[in-house]
């Protein structure tokens, strides 16, 4: 979106998100994502994928203080390095959108049972996308040394 000649400031540009479901049962070993009935048709053929990408709203961090946080010390890493929120996976950020690649264990009607979801219960679902290894995996990706320490995020 071009703002240079529009007269709008970056902070006045707004978008709209329609949540498509919610996390009803949380847990990294097994979680349930309930898709609202009006979006259920969008799940057609998703069973052909072993993994999906879940985009969710980190509703417990949706407040003015967390949205204004731009510098953090990532907690899940052994090395204490101050980084910008766009250089880490901190839940404190201007737009509290979470992203998680999960294993799709089963689907029954509008309920996805997944493994590896790091969202909490009642987290609204923003979107679901198929995981495509040819597009989503970057074998030679470069990362800072500090990200190689600690648990997976």
Residue 41 domain-assigned (yes or no) = yes
Q: H or E stretch including 63?
A: none
**CA separation for the pair 90, 25 (Å, rounded):** 22
Full-model pTM: 0.86
Do 43 and 111 form a contact (C-beta atoms < 8 A)?
no
- Give me the chain's average pLDDT, please: 90
Domain encompassing residue 122: 18-58+96-133
Residue 144 domain-assigned (yes or no) = no
Q: Residue 5 pLDDT more than 60? A: no
Per-residue pLDDT of 47-98, as tens digits, reads 999 999 999 999 999 999 999 999 998 887 667 889 999 998 889 999 999 9
* CATH number of the domain to which 104 belongs: 2.40.30.70
Q: Mean pLDDT throughout 30-58?
A: 98
The percentage of residues in the chain with a pLDDT greater than 70, rounded to a whole number, is: 88
């Amino acid at each position: 979106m071009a703002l240079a000649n529009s007269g709008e400031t970056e902070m006045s540009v707004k978008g709209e998100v329609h949540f498509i479901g919610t996390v009803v049962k949380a847990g990294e070993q097994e979680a349930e994502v309930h898709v609202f009935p009006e979006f259920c048709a969008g799940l057609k053929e998703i069973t052909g994928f072993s993994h999906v990408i879940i985009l969710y709203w980190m509703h417990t961090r949706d407040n003015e203080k967390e949205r204004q946080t731009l510098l953090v010390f990532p907690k899940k890493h052994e090395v204490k390095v101050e980084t910008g929120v766009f250089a880490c996976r901190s839940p404190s950020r201007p737009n509290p959108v979470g992203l998680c690649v999960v294993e799709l264990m089963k689907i029954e009607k509008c309920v996805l049972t997944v493994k590896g979801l790091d969202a909490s219960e009642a987290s609204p679902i923003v979107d679901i996308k198929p995981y495509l290894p040819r597009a989503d995996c970057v074998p030679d990706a470069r990362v800072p040394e500090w990200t190689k320490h600690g648990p997976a995020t």
